[in-house]
Structure 1
């Protein structure tokens, strides 16, 4: 196919660093943007991390199937989309889950994480400067306590070595917060056409349902008619990308474009089903990025603190439930012994009788002396004492400090919400934040009450067990000197314990989980007066909340925060609207679940046009599949639009169709840095596989907006017809009755088809012919990873060639 000299030259392109066997085929792969790390998902659903030298760092097996991968811009966290709509953030060091969110209701098909590029500050921006004052008044918030009986997770990074400074004390969540200095947004698209925008990957700030977008063909609303609006049915998101200025969201998706009034017409129209490129206006996010950044900082911290509160409550409930169950089980044997000895009294009455007259029945005597014994009594006493002390430690070291920091942060958020001129436009409602602030204060009072309850319980249980110990020794006629070392017995306190707490769990309702059955906490007169005084001092109108359990109060705090934090997403989502659409390729197979569509999307700053403030977006896709009747094309569209700071707004689009040389087919593709395209392909006979990189910025693009009799790129009828004629004039026309009046010849654009071969770029013939997607390319590190069907992996350096020194010497 080529001369020997050309083939030999190709053999030196791209240095081969690695050729290894794989234990399992790879389903997805993505390079870390900052480090030589490759995250992969195998066909058997293992999430693994490899170094450049193919050393495995860690491997985890997610419970739910992984459907997408994406790195945070700083490379310190990996976003993983799952089949159930969950997105989990994994620590790069060990694969542990840092945070987990559920923003979708179906499989997450694509992820893209972008960080806002620093722009020149204006005078208005300088006014909105907020300093996080929490570190001034509080130490770092404590972590969640460990669940009793749970073994600590094994950190595999300790076995293979850390990728960061080993002397650094920064943990995963601290590293996560360190990335919050600049606003970054995780974009996710799912199988049902929903796109979610999450600041820092955790705070939902915008949601777009592509099927609900009104796609207008008229540039001006006054020109719009009933027939000029369309909807995209059954959308399936393939790729998403947010511009670095956060003003434009680019979406590649499949779907069926029909008239919005299709249902009213009741006509059998054939709609256009295929791949579409959408541009959604997200200017509100870009213009209000500073305000959203500050709100997201507080909200993400508050949500993390709420998580610590809930985990702390779960730990306390577990600790007390285990201890109290042991106590109940021990004294359950006393009831059976009393019945065996013919007594109809219950254990509480027997104990009160022993306290009042000092005489024990035969059943109670046998239980204390034989069944329980002094050793068993000591063990039970230590169990209850240790549990109550553990509850106190969890409250003092976790629950109370976190609740105080949370109340302060909600107060800071309330202060921000009062700047209505800047914050109302993004939906931060002062009244809703006020409600969250009041609930956080109620939680603090409930925690203070729980501390009092636990302190009383400690004293009462200790007095009860001291009394039982002395009684047992007297029943056994033991007058050892150690009896004098025991504290004096308060008979009144023991009697109160036996009447109120021996058979009733007073502490349990305070820690009970929130269920449909409302827990009503009774209070004695003294506690009620004290707590009501605290409530009045805190500014609460009434003290009815004191009858709730602490878990109920935390649940109310969670709901009020959730309501307040969801408003920005609702307000911002309503202002994200359709801006432009382009029909990319027709699909003969409506079901895309098992169809791999090679597409790539990237945005570049145009260095030659920085003066005019233009940004260039490239979209590259393959069309259609190779058949005997049709040619294979790689279509590239590029679109320029001015930045918001530009004096005028102007958008124009160009396109070119690359016809791959005879005997070649494309397997996968990826846009590369500096406007280059990486292609992975095979010969038609599958005898050889090849890898090629070629520049695409100097290709003879054709303008596909200015040649039409309609003004503007947002004319849907133009977009639907232009690419069909551009790519293949002989392609079967798509019959669309509602657009038939606009179809016209595109002869001027037929010259946009440009033939390419392996001579048009740097290419290399690969040692294995059975290459398969995905093609993993690292633009920041200049690496390409190619996978073979026979479980092989090839790692190439795209920036260096083999035998360069020898060639220069020759």
Structure 2
């Protein structure tokens, strides 16, 4: 018995639990900061479980989920969908925080990486940008809620909005980039996961090498991305993809007409050092841009809510008062409701249709209901302006002014695309919107006053017609009744200012007022004097368009500065279509270099080393089946100008006999976790598998001398130096199940979650208890 207990203690990787699952899992990722596991089922539901397997929440986006990753602080999870959308969800409750349509094809991979170093500029000085908005303004307003809608009915709750503000609040975050790749070869970059900052089509990139007087280029076509990974210093992006690799001489007419040299799986190295060099400037711009975008949504929601409320109120008004026109026609009169009301106001005898309308059709109760609806709606609109629309417009003006000031510091911000002219225009548009808000408030107050005065007069008229006392009724102004009947009864200036469908209609402006506005331009007023002819909705559209134009310039500038530095062909495949549709298990990780003897795979001043591991399909290297490739040091030395291409180190592993690799994952301290299924010899054979950890630092890596003109798969040349793994020589734990991908490994927690083919989840502790091991020894 003691011997069995001792053997159990010495068995690597303690099994924490073995739980059944309702549906098979296709994606699984551990939270980087908490003991939480996010899983995606085959029917595209997202499950969040604690380490003890307690389920916290389940959500279903309603679309096929193709990728998932965590924000570096673990407070949000990014989900890539088949239609090209990326959605961000709150870790606390799964609420949708943000949805962005950054791709047009399925988002097959996501990687969210934060800067591993403290914020320093290229000169080494600390630069912490202070957001001064809170000094001058109260907390930013929320979106107004539609009347009658309780929290959560619209998919947006108070708690969800707080989480969204936390997501936007980047002042306390390390600079981070969300990188996404789709099956059509498009890579997108977003700061803090919410501000698009760059885009790259890997079909449009090529790398040129000097070769015997000519420049030889390498270019990928018909590529589909499999995996992307930003380095911890944000200087490089490693991309794994399938595609056709072409070699050619730059400028040759038949360069793209030739047959592809290498069709299969490739590894690309992109230079993203602009993120590292200008991370402080990008952080500042993204912080302002994210808040401006949030406040823009507040304005959009405010205008939408006010427009709907006012249209509903006017529908109630016209639903009652339009019947008067029908009564006038029925009585054979040739007049309008306004003329009939003016006649009543002037003291003339009440016409039969007006008497019937006021006494029978409308009545005192109906009039009071209409009056309450219109007047209360007017007051609600005023509150929305004061509590939401106007504060948002004021803060936007301040923030755009801050960005305008930054754009004038050309030495630092011109390199990331902050254009002074565009931000001058955008700041002016923000100011004109604020003026439009003031005008809207003036028009709204006047309209509400005139409606209230008109209803007070009608109520007194109804009382008189019904021979009831009217001494205690509110007073009214006959002049305002006349103004109302002439300008408001069958017209709607509020709708004209708010409704987007009427946004293109020009508003009549007094010529004298327009001339006074033009005179003000000589004293520093707005250069655009036509804003008085535009509605509030149209002004908002133009402001939003100017914002997009101003922020598009940094996006285009950064996109141009993301370049391809190297292409490494990994293994061939006969069918490119079959390779693109299949899932190649692969893993990319970056580790801090510990040995000063290794210097060939350093990046910039950061001592970071990259490891790339992948399973090679048997049909790719038929002579070397059951093979795993590991590449170390693919990243270039950024300070090395002597060579135009790198010589990474590579090793090929062959899994033990009677096993095949299902999935793999790079672990901490240069370790690789392998999932191996035992090959069944007969249908009745028991289903067994194992989990194995391989020390990559102990493997005999071989440098690969690559030539840019070579059209061969260099990994094939390592056949003679292949390392054959043996179960007795590695850390191995037997699993009494047949297992399937994915493998979810948490380096920060030292755990791995494995999924069995018979719908079970097994969690193993990868970290060994050193005290127990020493006691057992």
TM-score by length of 1: 0.87
Name the counterpart of 2:411: 421
The answer on whether the counterparts of 1:616 and 1:638 sit within 8 Å (CA) in structure 2 is yes
- 1:481-511: per-residue Cα shift (whole Å, max 9, x none)? xx33323221111011011111111110100
Name the counterpart of 1:765: 734
The answer on whether the counterparts of 2:246 and 2:256 sit within 8 Å (CA) in structure 1 is no
Name the counterpart of 1:521: 507
The answer on whether the counterparts of 1:678 and 1:691 sit within 8 Å (CA) in structure 2 is yes
Q: Which of 314, 318, 338 matches 1:328?
A: 318
Name the counterpart of 2:195: 203
The answer on whether the counterparts of 2:240 and 2:267 sit within 8 Å (CA) in structure 1 is yes
| Distance in 2 of aligned mates of 1:66 and 1:308 | 29
Within 5 Å, give how 1:541-620 maps onto structure 2: 541-591=527-577, 592-609=579-596, 613=605, 614-620=607-613
Deviation at 1:522, TM superposition (A): 2.0
Deviation at 1:597, TM superposition (A): 0.5
| Distance in 2 of aligned mates of 1:194 and 1:237 | 8
Name the counterpart of 1:683: 678
Q: Which of 778, 781, 785 matches 2:749?
A: 781
Within 5 Å, give how 1:90-489 maps onto structure 2: 90-119=89-118, 121=120, 124-126=123-125, 130-153=129-152, 171-178=163-170, 181-216=173-208, 218=209, 220=210, 225=214, 228-259=216-247, 264=254, 269=259, 271-479=261-469, 483-489=470-476
Q: Which stretch of structure 1 is more off in the superposition, 284-293 or 186-195?
A: 284-293
Name the counterpart of 1:742: none
Question: In the superposition, relative to structure 1, how do residues 645 and 270 fare at CA in structure 2: closer, same or farther (>3 Å)?
Answer: closer
The answer on whether the counterparts of 1:183 and 1:289 sit within 8 Å (CA) in structure 2 is yes
| Distance in 1 of aligned mates of 2:267 and 2:381 | 57
Q: Which of 481, 486, 489 matches 1:494?
A: 481
| Distance in 2 of aligned mates of 1:157 and 1:330 | 35
- 1:608-645: per-residue Cα shift (whole Å, max 9, x none)? 23996532100000112479975111110100658768
Name the counterpart of 2:632: 638
Name the counterpart of 1:16: 15
Deviation at 1:277, TM superposition (A): 1.0
Name the counterpart of 1:741: none
Is the aligned partner of 1:697 residue 2:691? no
Q: Which stretch of structure 1 is more off in the superposition, 598-607 or 207-216?
A: 207-216
| Distance in 2 of aligned mates of 1:119 and 1:266 | 45
SS of 1:416 mapped into structure 2: helix
Question: In the superposition, relative to structure 1, how do residues 458 and 565 fare at CA in structure 2: closer, same or farther (>3 Å)?
Answer: same
| Distance in 2 of aligned mates of 1:704 and 1:518 | 64
Name the counterpart of 2:602: none
| Distance in 1 of aligned mates of 2:410 and 2:750 | 47
| Distance in 2 of aligned mates of 1:628 and 1:572 | 43
The answer on whether the counterparts of 1:109 and 1:191 sit within 8 Å (CA) in structure 2 is yes
The answer on whether the counterparts of 2:122 and 2:277 sit within 8 Å (CA) in structure 1 is no
SS of 1:477 mapped into structure 2: coil
Name the counterpart of 2:614: 621
Alignment root-mean-square deviation, CA: 3.2
- 1:506-545: per-residue Cα shift (whole Å, max 9, x none)? 1101001157x71211245797688778887762135211
The answer on whether the counterparts of 2:665 and 2:674 sit within 8 Å (CA) in structure 1 is yes
| Distance in 2 of aligned mates of 1:639 and 1:108 | 27
Deviation at 1:307, TM superposition (A): 1.5
Is the aligned partner of 1:512 residue 2:499? yes
- 1:275-314: per-residue Cα shift (whole Å, max 9, x none)? 1111111222211111111111111111111111111111
SS of 1:776 mapped into structure 2: strand
Name the counterpart of 1:78: 77
Question: In the superposition, relative to structure 1, how do residues 610 and 321 fare at CA in structure 2: closer, same or farther (>3 Å)?
Answer: farther
Q: Which of 666, 669, 676 matches 1:671?
A: 666
| Distance in 2 of aligned mates of 1:539 and 1:36 | 57
Name the counterpart of 2:683: none
Which runs of no fewer than 5 residues in structure 2 stay unpaired?
A: 600-604, 681-685
Deviation at 1:155, TM superposition (A): 12
The answer on whether the counterparts of 2:121 and 2:127 sit within 8 Å (CA) in structure 1 is no
Question: In the superposition, relative to structure 1, how do residues 536 and 792 fare at CA in structure 2: closer, same or farther (>3 Å)?
Answer: farther
Name the counterpart of 2:44: 45
| Distance in 2 of aligned mates of 1:538 and 1:91 | 46
- 1:730-784: per-residue Cα shift (whole Å, max 9, x none)? xxxxxxxxxxxxxxxxxxxx22x00002223222222322x21111111111121
Deviation at 1:478, TM superposition (A): 0.3
SS of 1:363 mapped into structure 2: helix
Deviation at 1:64, TM superposition (A): 3.0
Question: In the superposition, relative to structure 1, how do residues 381 and 661 fare at CA in structure 2: closer, same or farther (>3 Å)?
Answer: same
| Distance in 1 of aligned mates of 2:118 and 2:32 | 22
Question: In the superposition, relative to structure 1, how do residues 385 and 306 fare at CA in structure 2: closer, same or farther (>3 Å)?
Answer: same
Question: In the superposition, relative to structure 1, how do residues 535 and 475 fare at CA in structure 2: closer, same or farther (>3 Å)?
Answer: farther
Question: In the superposition, relative to structure 1, how do residues 138 and 531 fare at CA in structure 2: closer, same or farther (>3 Å)?
Answer: farther
Deviation at 1:84, TM superposition (A): 1.9
TM-score by length of 2: 0.91
The answer on whether the counterparts of 2:570 and 2:713 sit within 8 Å (CA) in structure 1 is no
SS of 2:657 mapped into structure 1: coil
- 1:214-260: per-residue Cα shift (whole Å, max 9, x none)? 132x2x4x85626x212100111111111122211111111111235
Question: In the superposition, relative to structure 1, how do residues 120 and 136 fare at CA in structure 2: closer, same or farther (>3 Å)?
Answer: closer
Name the counterpart of 1:61: 60
- 1:528-585: per-residue Cα shift (whole Å, max 9, x none)? 6887788877621352111111111111111111111111121122122111121112
The answer on whether the counterparts of 2:40 and 2:47 sit within 8 Å (CA) in structure 1 is yes
| Distance in 1 of aligned mates of 2:56 and 2:353 | 63
Question: In the superposition, relative to structure 1, how do residues 123 and 569 fare at CA in structure 2: closer, same or farther (>3 Å)?
Answer: closer
Question: In the superposition, relative to structure 1, how do residues 273 and 809 fare at CA in structure 2: closer, same or farther (>3 Å)?
Answer: closer
| Distance in 1 of aligned mates of 2:312 and 2:207 | 60
